[in-house]
Amino acid sequence: MKALVLNQDFRPISVCSIQRAFVLVFNKKVEMVASFNGHKFHTVDNEYSIPAVIRLQCYIKVPYRSVELSRKNIFERDNHTCQYCGSKKDLSIDHVIPKSRGGGSGWKNLVTACKACNARKGDFTPEEAGMPLRQQPFKPSFLMFLRDYIGFKYEEWKPFLTAG
Ligand SMILES: [Zn+2]
């Protein structure tokens, strides 16, 4: 589980581990806005709610938050599905335009591909290989990423992901 971090104005700005959220709440660095229903953290003497949404005490300026380009996030964007055949197994990252052909390493040239498709496509473009993409790869915005790819997992986050 992860905690959603809100700015003082309730806009989502980040995500952190629940361990970290718990420490921040415990040390009164942040306010707990929502907790995970039905989950408690037990110590010998006490039980604590597990923070699902926390809010900073002070407003911080966040100019633009982009989604970190990583293997994991590309898989998330592509719904853990091979963008060529739809398989959900043996996933890897494919350069749509191969590196050897000058293809870049950004959001728009990287897609999730199963190892079989990746091998079959080799050093070809999708057109040359006759392997059309199921969707054009795109760069997700941070809020969209939270909402569509991570937020849906947690009911507790939903009320805070509607803005923007
Ligand atoms: Zn495939």
pLDDT in tens, 58-78: 888 876 677 889 999 999 899
**pLDDT given for residue 100 in this prediction:** 94
Would you say the C-alpha torsion 74, 79, 80, 85 has a positive or negative sign? negative
Q: Is 123 exposed, middle or buried (0-12, 13-18, 19+ CB in 10 A)?
A: exposed
CB-count burial class (<10 Å; 0-12, 13-18, 19+) for 160 = buried
Segments in the chain forming alpha helices (H): 18-26, 71-77, 115-121, 126-129, 142-144
Neighbours of ion ligand 1 (CB under 5 A): 82, 84-85, 87, 114, 117
- Token reading at 41: 């953290």
pLDDT for res 64: 67
- Residue 68: the pLDDT is 85
Is the pLDDT confidence value at 52 over 50?
yes
Q: Which two tokens stand for residue 37?
A: 């229903």
> What are the distances in angstroms from CA 140 to CA 41, 67, 80, 116, 131?
34, 7, 15, 26, 23
**Distance between Cα 97 and ligand 1 center (Å):** 16
One-letter amino acid at 28 equals K
Using the mean position of ligand 1's atoms as its centre, give its distance from the Cα of residue 154 in Å: 29
Which pLDDT band holds residue 150 (cuts at 50, 70, 90)? low
- pLDDT confidence tier of residue 45, bands split at 50, 70 and 90: confident
Tell how far the Cα of 109 is from the centroid of ligand 1, in angstroms. 16
The residue ranges of every structural domain in the chain are 2-65+141-160, 71-129
pLDDT of residue 135: 94
pTM: 0.65
Report whether pLDDT(151) > 80: no
- The helix/strand/coil state of 13 is strand
Distance 119 CA to ligand 1 centre (A): 9
**Ligand 1 centroid vs 41 CA: distance in angstroms?**
41
Name the least confident of 27-41, 98-112, 142-156.
142-156
Mean pLDDT of the chain: 89
Of residues 36 and 147, more confidence is placed in 36
| Ligand 1 center from residue 80 Cα (angstroms) | 11
Q: How confident is the model at residue 123 (pLDDT cuts 50, 70, 90)?
A: very high
How far apart are the C-alpha atoms of 98 and 112, rounded to whole Å?
14
> What is the spatial distance between Cα 53 and Cα 157, in angstroms, rounded to a whole number?
7
Pick the more confident residue, 105 or 164.
Answer: 105
pLDDT exceeds cutoff 80 at 18: yes
Which one of 3.40.50.1980, 2.40.30.10, 1.10.30.50, 1.10.599.10 gives the CATH number of domain 71-129?
1.10.30.50
Ligand 1 centroid–CA 76 distance in Å is 16
Euclidean distance between CA atoms 129 and 133, whole angstroms: 11
Q: Residue 111 contacts by C-beta under 8 Å, 6 or more apart in sequence?
A: 74, 78, 83, 93, 94, 96, 133, 137
Question: 122 alpha carbon to ligand 1 midpoint, in Å?
Answer: 12
pLDDT band (50, 70, 90) for residue 164:
very low
